[in-house]
Structure formats: structure tokens, C-alpha cells
């Protein structure tokens, strides 16, 4: 057994120790996720710019096909085609505000990954935990395919495929397949597959769970087997398009890209695509025969196919939009799957909010009116009635309501405000409002990003692991 396999076994053991009280066996889900004999075939790469602190440390780790931007450290861990995007980490000399506390930062924040295995996982943003404002840590954690760890320190955690933890500190928890959690801080909890939970104690609580019988068509996993479902099939169908992007040393430049827009070197942007001013397309995004209007963004692992986004649209990490027209200011949340069909297109009105992990899969035309919140699983007009509410009506809710599988408690106005504030922040940091002089963001700054590759050992007991590397700037 080579050292990479020994490291993987040790990581899984550490995850299991943390989850022993939940009687959960991560090893049953780890088989085949990372294949030691394949890890040496993929190079890792990291970005350099004058806008991001750089101090990467890799020790006794495998980084196959992974991407790093910003201040990161990976020790005793295995990453496979994972994106560590630290371009919004907090900086030395600034302050972090939490309630009535103003916390001065004495050093640049670090994404610190130890004894963890992250498979095709997106790690982004900064720690929202006031107890660790300078360290965004991921420890003793196993994350399966297309999970998102967004501003969420994790300790002793299992994330199922397409699971998202967002702005939440997670300790000794199991987060099931296609679940989304934004709850501040949780520990020793087992989140059922298909749960969408947004909780702000004392303000509001949004709780929905997909029907397990319907969800398994789209995403599922059972112990001892690999993940399966329509979402995996969809990604696999488009996988070949990424092969040239990662194999070629240099790609032909795409024409008609505004100077204020940024297309990542490791994104797939196919012909008949229109890119407007201030657009950001992140790595591993896939754009085909679509229009991205001014200020729109397509974040990591997004797919936008045969669709039109009119402008200032947010397509969050992992979201997929097929055969759809989105008017201005539409937000599509993490890992949502919006699938219209040719001749049966989806139309989403201005200012709508599509909750994270929403599935819209239609076989007849469907129009969502402007200014609505939508969630859950929607297949027709009847489903839409049960899974949507106008933002105005929601703002008028002061105690709570339930409809179908959704339970909402608290102040609807605070919920709407929280979402609108966050959408504005996302657009702002991505450079959507750049006017030629002010309000620069990722769409403008990433144009000055240079990429470098690093290789693992190709033979011997260390095959697939990377040499101990420290890169400082």
C-alpha cells in the first residue's frame, strides 16, 4: 500500500471518530471517490495576482486537478478536482463586525485544510465565525462530489454529494445529499437528504425538505456505491468539453469579450455565446449558446445552456440553467437545477429569488412572475402555486406560515431583506457595478491573474502525493 492510500485511510478514520456519536460510517461512502492509482495523472494549479495574498503550503497531500487562489494551506489531506477560492478572505488591518463586537484582524485570513478529503468540492468566501475570524478551517472532513463549503468552517463533518454548508460553523455533523444549511452554528446533527434550512435565530426560520422519492431521480447515494442520478448524468454528458481546457497549454482567445469582463482560463465558453460588460465567468463553468447580460456572473461548476440572462443575474456555485429566459436581477441559488426544454422554455421574471437547491424540471412552458421567491421541486404550474410566494406577500408575514413541505417561522420582511442585501453584495464584489473607474470587482481584477501548475510524484511509494511545497509572496 502506498503512502497516498495510507493517508486516505487515516483521513476516513479521523472523520469516523468525530461522527461516532451519530453512528455514521464514512468509510462506506469513501470507496471509489478518490482512486489512488489515478491521482498522479492530474496537475494542480494556483493563481497569482497583486490583489490576493499568497502563502501556499502543501505537506503530505494529494492535490489532483485542484485549483488554489489566495492564502491557503493544505496538510495531510487529499483534494481531487477541488476549487479553493480565497479571493474574498479578510485582510490584515481590517475589522470584522459581529453583533456589537468589532474585531480587529492582526493577520490575513487563511483557508486551513487538515486531515480532510474533498472531492470536486468548492471552497469559497471567508469564515463567518467570530471565534475564528482569521482562520477558515476544514478539519477531519469528507466532502463528496459537488459539495459547497462557503464561509463555513468544518470540523469532523461528512458532506454528501451536492450538499452545501453556507455561512455556518459545522462540528461533528452529517449533511445529506443535496441538502443546504445556513444556520450560523450547528453541532452533532444529522441533516436528512434534500433539506433546505435557512435559520437566523430570533429573526426567521425557513425549512423545506424534498420528497425523498422524487429527489432520488436527481441525486442520491447509498453506502458502498458511487453517487447517481440525473444531475450526475447531466454533468457527465458535458465532461468531454473540459478535457481540452485542462489539457491544452494555451487556448485560442474568445472574440468579442468586453474589457470589463473576465472569463476564467479553466471555464468552457462555446460559440454563439454573448458576454456583456462586467460579466464574471469562474473556473469550471460551462456556457453554451447563451447570453450573459451586463453584470451577470456564472460561478464555479455552473452550466448555462441555450439561455438568456438579461443582466445583473447571479448564478451561484453549482447552479444549472437550461433552455430558460431570466429577466434582470434574478438570483439562482447554489446547486439549483433549472431545466426547460426546447419548445417548453422556462421564463423567470425580474427580481425573482430561486432558493438554493431548487429543482425546476418542466415539459411545458412555465412563467414565474416578477418578484417571487421559489423553492423545492417544480414540474408544472400546479407545483409552482405551492412552491412560490411574492416577495411582497412574504414581507408581510410576521409570524409564519406553511405550504406543502415548507415551514416558515418569523419575520418575512427580515428574510427578504437578508436575501436582497446578500445578492447586492455578490454583485458588488464581482464587479457588476463597475463604471469604468469605480466599483472594481472580480470581473475586472481577475484579468490580471496568472496561473501556474505543479505536479505530483509519478512513481514510488509517494506516487500521487505532492512534494512538500511552500510558496510565499
Q: Which residues pair with 366 in a beta bridge?
A: 346
Low-confidence ranges of the chain (pLDDT < 70): 1, 247-255
First-to-last alpha carbon distance for the chain, in angstroms, is 37
In contact, 349 and 333? CB cutoff 8 Å: no
SS3 (DSSP) at 179: coil
Beta strands 195-200 and 204-209 are antiparallel
> Considering Cα of 331, then 333, then 335, then 338, what sign does the dihedral take?
negative
Delimit the domains of the chain by residue range: 3-226+450-472, 238-394+413-446
CA–CA distance from 100 to each of 96, 97, 103, 130, 199 (Å)?
11, 7, 10, 11, 20
Residue 271 is predicted with a pLDDT of 82
User: Grid coordinates representing 24?
Assistant: 455514521
Phi-psi region of 210 (alpha: psi -120 to 50; beta: other; left: phi over 0): beta
CA–CA distance from 266 to each of 262, 397, 453 (Å)?
12, 44, 13
Of 165, 178, 171, 170, the residue nearest 221 (C-alpha): 178
The separation between CA 162 and the C-alpha centre of its own chain, rounded to angstroms, equals 9
CATH placement of domain 3-226+450-472: 2.160.10.10
Cα–Cα distance, 315 to 333 (Å, whole number)? 7
Of 180, 59, 49, 63, the residue nearest 464 (C-alpha): 63
Alpha helices (H) in 318-468, listed in sequence order: 381-386, 391-395, 412-429, 442-445
Cα–Cα distance, 113 to 54 (Å, whole number)? 15
Residue 248 is predicted with a pLDDT of 62
Cα–Cα distance, 297 to 275 (Å, whole number)? 10
What is the chain's Cα-based Rg? 21
Cα–Cα distance, 336 to 162 (Å, whole number)? 10
User: Which are the contacts of 472, defined by CB distance < 8 A and separation ≥ 6?
Assistant: 54, 55
Residue 254 is predicted with a pLDDT of 63
The fold of the 238-394+413-446 domain, in CATH, is UDP N-Acetylglucosamine Acyltransferase; domain 1 (2.160.10)
CA–CA distance from 402 to each of 64, 69, 364 (Å)?
45, 42, 27
Cα–Cα distance, 46 to 132 (Å, whole number)? 25
Of 114, 38, 125, the residue nearest 80 (C-alpha): 38
DSSP state of 389: E
Residue-wise pLDDT tens digits, 318-375: 999 999 999 999 999 999 999 999 999 999 999 999 999 999 999 999 999 999 999 9
Of 320, 328, 323, 322, the residue nearest 296 (C-alpha): 328
Cα–Cα distance, 52 to 43 (Å, whole number)? 22
Residue count of the chain = 473
Cα–Cα distance, 206 to 156 (Å, whole number)? 25
Of 17, 174, 4, the residue nearest 77 (C-alpha): 4
In contact, 351 and 391? CB cutoff 8 Å: yes
- Total-model pTM: 0.96
Same fold, 3-226+450-472 and 238-394+413-446: yes
Q: What would the DSSP string read from start to end of 24-91?
A: --THHHHTTTS-GGGGGG--EEEEE-TTS--EEEEES-B-TT-EEESSEEEES-EEES-EEE-TT---
Amino acid at each position: 500500500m502506498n503512502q497516498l492510500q495510507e493517508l486516505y485511510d487515516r483521513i476516513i478514520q479521523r472523520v469516523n471518530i468525530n461522527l461516532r456519536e451519530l453512528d455514521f460510517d464514512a468509510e462506506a461512502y469513501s470507496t471509489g471517490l478518490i482512486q489512488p492509482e489515478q491521482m498522479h495523472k492530474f496537475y494542480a494549479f494556483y493563481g497569482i495576482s497583486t490583489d490576493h495574498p499568497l502563502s501556499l503550503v502543501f505537506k503530505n497531500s494529494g492535490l489532483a486537478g485542484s485549483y488554489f487562489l489566495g492564502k491557503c494551506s493544505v496538510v495531510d489531506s487529499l483534494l481531487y478536482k477541488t476549487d479553493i477560492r480565497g479571493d474574498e478572505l479578510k485582510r490584515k488591518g481590517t475589522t470584522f463586525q459581529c453583533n456589537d463586537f468589532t474585531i480587529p484582524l492582526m493577520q490575513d485570513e487563511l483557508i486551513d485544510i487538515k486531515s480532510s478529503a474533498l472531492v470536486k468540492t468548492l471552497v469559497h468566501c471567508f469564515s463567518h465565525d467570530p471565534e475564528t475570524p482569521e482562520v477558515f478551517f476544514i478539519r477531519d472532513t469528507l466532502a463528496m462530489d459537488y459539495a459547497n463549503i462557503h464561509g463555513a468552517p468544518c470540523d469532523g463533518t461528512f458532506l454528501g454529494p451536492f450538499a452545501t454548508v453556507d455561512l455556518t460553523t459545522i462540528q461533528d455533523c452529517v449533511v445529506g445529499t443535496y441538502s443546504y444549511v445556513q444556520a450560523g452554528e450547528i453541532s452533532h446533527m444529522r441533516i436528512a437528504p434534500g433539506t433546505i434550512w435557512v435559520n437566523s435565530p430570533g429573526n426567521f426560520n425557513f425549512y423545506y425538505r424534498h420528497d425523498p422519492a422524487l429527489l432520488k431521480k436527481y441525486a442520491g447515494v447509498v453506502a458502498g456505491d458511487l453517487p447517481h442520478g440525473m444531475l450526475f448524468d447531466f454533468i457527465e454528458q458535458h465532461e468531454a468539453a473540459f478535457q481540452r481546457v485542462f489539457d491544452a497549454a494555451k487556448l485560442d482567445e474568445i472574440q468579442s469579450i468586453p474589457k470589463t469582463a473576465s472569463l476564467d482560463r479553466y471555464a468552457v465558453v462555446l460559440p454563439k455565446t454573448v458576454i456583456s460588460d462586467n460579466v464574471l465567468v469562474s473556473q469550471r463553468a460551462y456556457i453554451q449558446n447563451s447570453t450573459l447580460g451586463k453584470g451577470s456572473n456564472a460561478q464555479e461548476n455552473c452550466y448555462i445552456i441555450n439561455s438568456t440572462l438579461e443582466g445583473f443575474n447571479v448564478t451561484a456555485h453549482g447552479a444549472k440553467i437550461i433552455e430558460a429566459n431570466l429577466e434582470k436581477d434574478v438570483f439562482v441559488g447554489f446547486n439549483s437545477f433549472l431545466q426547460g426544454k426546447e419548445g417548453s422554455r422556462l421564463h423567470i421574471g425580474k427580481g425573482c429569488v430561486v432558493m438554493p437547491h431548487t429543482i425546476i424540471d418542466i415539459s411545458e412552458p412555465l412563467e414565474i412572475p416578477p418578484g417571487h421567491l421559489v423553492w423545492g421541486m417544480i414540474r408544472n404550474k400546479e407545483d409552482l402555486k405551492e412552491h412560490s410566494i411574492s416577495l411582497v406577500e412574504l414581507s408581510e408575514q410576521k409570524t409564519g406560515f406553511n405550504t406543502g413541505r415548507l415551514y416558515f417561522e418569523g419575520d418575512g420582511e427580515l428574510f427578504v431583506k437578508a436575501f436582497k442585501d446578500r445578492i447586492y453584495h455578490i454583485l458588488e464584489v464581482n464587479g457588476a457595478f463597475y463604471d469604468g473607474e469605480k466599483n472594481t470587482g472580480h470581473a475586472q481584477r481577475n484579468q490580471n491573474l496568472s496561473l501556474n501548475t505543479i505536479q505530483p510524484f509519478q512513481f514510488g511509494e509517494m506516487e500521487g502525493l505532492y512534494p512538500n511545497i511552500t510558496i510565499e509572496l
